[in-house]
Amino acid sequence: MRGANARIAVLLAAAIAAAAGARAQSGPQTGQITVTGSVDRMCIMANPQVNLGASTNIGQASGGTVTIADLSDDQQMTTKSTDFYVTLSGMCNYSHLLTISSDRGGLWREPAGLATGGFANGVPYRATVDWGGSETVLLASAAGEGQVQQTLSVDQPVVGGVLLHFHIDQSATNAGSGVPLVAGNYDDTIRLTLGPQ
Amino acid sequence: MKLRLILLAGLALTAPALADGTGTITVSGSVSPACYFGSPVATTLNVGTLANQADGTLAPITPQSTTIPSSWCNTGSTIGIIASPLVAQSYIGSPPAGFTKAVNYTATAAGWATNSASFTTTGDTSGGGNGTTPGTQTTSDPVAQTITVTVSNFLAPSAGNRLVADPNYSSTITVTLAATH
């Protein structure tokens, strides 16, 4: 009987252990795993595409360079109205800032030099940018040579086209409306930037 | 010969009970159906950068796995798995057109039943609309195995969606073991 008692004790102990089981339960058991990742802030802009079909007074466009066919009117030697449109595919995946700037603040003769009395050596223009449903206008007034810029704050990610409309008014010069332009090459560089606010 | 046997039987009937005796004790017990879910080796799977640096769309993402050792069920059981889409935690509101703040993927739990249990998230660009029915597999035998959980097949809700910037996209996978008997 002593042996039988010992056997009973062992069996009971085993039963208790099985019932207790470390955290085992008769109900469903669950575990969770977290999956994580990240996306960096980024802005992307592709090369400009000039829409020649909608342009006026444009000679040629190659890459990022647009050449105006005739900057001055043949009769009065003053500025001719000019328009062209450029699209740049862009994307920013966060709230960001679009900046448009003109290196020279107008279409200036190269080198600008001194304007002889009765002549102009700078041409003002207007560059309108549409991005993500908002618009900003850069006025490069040619009031003085130097950089000018305009910014557009965008409070959400945007993907699409940065649409630029470049416009020169008929007869516009830095010396007054209709003033003849000094002969020479005129240029400016317009920069579009997407970046942090 | 027959007479002798009868006498022996008579002696036995009259013998005192102190002689050789046997007693029988029946011991019984029971084991309840139970399951034990082990601790995952890794409780977080970091799949890294989600966006393609060239255009902001979803980048190819290498599948990631972790194991859950020492799990068992002492009877037939069902393993279930369900997951939520990876969602940007800091971005408030719905993303603009062309963007997503959610990434879908497939979570599988292998090693328990003959076939893996799997669940593919189906969130929209805000992470809503995900399925609610776990993927399950059932086995009729007790199992003591290591479960391997894998995430793979990452997809944007719509092809070409750009991902909004966020340092913390997060998702939860829930694996369940349930006794079936």
Q: Output the furthest CA–CA distance in chain A (Å, rounded).
A: 132
Placement of tokens 């802009």 in the chain: A45
pLDDT interval class at A15 (50, 70, 90): very low
pLDDT interval class at B18 (50, 70, 90): low
Query: How many CB atoms are located within 10 Å of the residue A194 CB?
Result: 21
pLDDT at A1 over 80: no
Structure token digits, residue B86? 């990876």
Span B147-152, mean pLDDT? Answer: 98
SS3 call for B50: coil
pLDDT interval class at B177 (50, 70, 90): very high
The pLDDT assigned to A9 comes to: 42
Q: Which domains does chain B have, with CATH numbers?
A: 35-179 (2.60.40)
Mean per-residue pLDDT of chain A: 87
Nearest CA in chain B to A4: B25
Span B76-85, mean pLDDT? Answer: 98
The pLDDT assigned to A95 comes to: 96
Q: Per mean pLDDT, which range of A112-121, A124-133, B31-40 is the poorest? A: A112-121
pLDDT at A125 over 80: yes
Cβ distance B162 to A157 less than 8 Å, yes or no, reads yes
**Nearest CA-CA distance, residue A97 and chain B, Å:** 15
Name the residue facing B34 among A8, A24, A160 (closest C-beta).
A24
pLDDT at B74 over 90: yes
pLDDT at A30 over 70: yes
CB proximity B155 to A under 8 Å = no
CB proximity A16 to B under 8 Å = no
Tell how strand A148-154 and strand A96-102 pair up: antiparallel
**Nearest CA-CA distance, residue B115 and chain A, Å:** 19
The pLDDT assigned to A115 comes to: 66
Query: How many CB atoms are located within 10 Å of the residue A57 CB?
Result: 15
pLDDT at A114 over 70: no
pLDDT at B41 over 50: yes
Asked if this assembly's ipTM is beyond 0.85, the reply is: yes
Mean per-residue pLDDT of chain B: 91
For residue A134, the cross-strand partners are A131
CB proximity B81 to A under 8 Å = no
The pLDDT assigned to A19 comes to: 38
Q: Which domains does chain A have, with CATH numbers?
A: 43-195 (2.60.120)
Nearest CA in chain B to A95: B165
Distance separating alpha carbons of residues B145 and B111, to the nearest angstrom: 7
Cβ distance A27 to B178 less than 8 Å, yes or no, reads yes
Long-range contacts of A6-11 (CB under 8 A, 24+ apart): A7/B27, A8/B25, A8/B27, A11/B27, A11/B29
CB proximity A91 to B under 8 Å = yes
**pLDDT over 70 percentage in chain B:** 90
Q: Is the Cβ–Cβ distance between B157 and A87 less than 8 Å?
A: no
The pLDDT assigned to A116 comes to: 74
Cβ distance A28 to B86 less than 8 Å, yes or no, reads no
Cβ distance A40 to B165 less than 8 Å, yes or no, reads yes
Which H or E element spans position B103?
strand B102-110
pLDDT in tens, B110-124: 999 999 999 999 999
**pLDDT over 70 percentage in chain A:** 87
In chain A, what residues touch B174 (CB-CB under 8 Å)? 30-32
pLDDT at B7 over 80: no
Nearest to A85 by CA among A125, A62, A131, A53: A53
pLDDT interval class at A2 (50, 70, 90): very low
Tell how strand A185-187 and strand A107-110 pair up: antiparallel
pLDDT at A113 over 80: no
pLDDT at A18 over 80: no
Cβ distance A33 to B40 less than 8 Å, yes or no, reads yes
**Nearest CA-CA distance, residue B4 and chain A, Å:** 35
Exposed e or buried b for every residue in A6-42, given b needs 16+ CB within 10 A?
Answer: eeeeeeeeeeeeeeebeebeeeebebebebbbbbebb
Span A148-165, mean pLDDT? Answer: 97
pLDDT in tens, A65-107: 999 999 998 887 889 999 999 999 999 999 999 999 999 999 9
CB proximity A20 to B under 8 Å = no
pLDDT interval class at A53 (50, 70, 90): confident
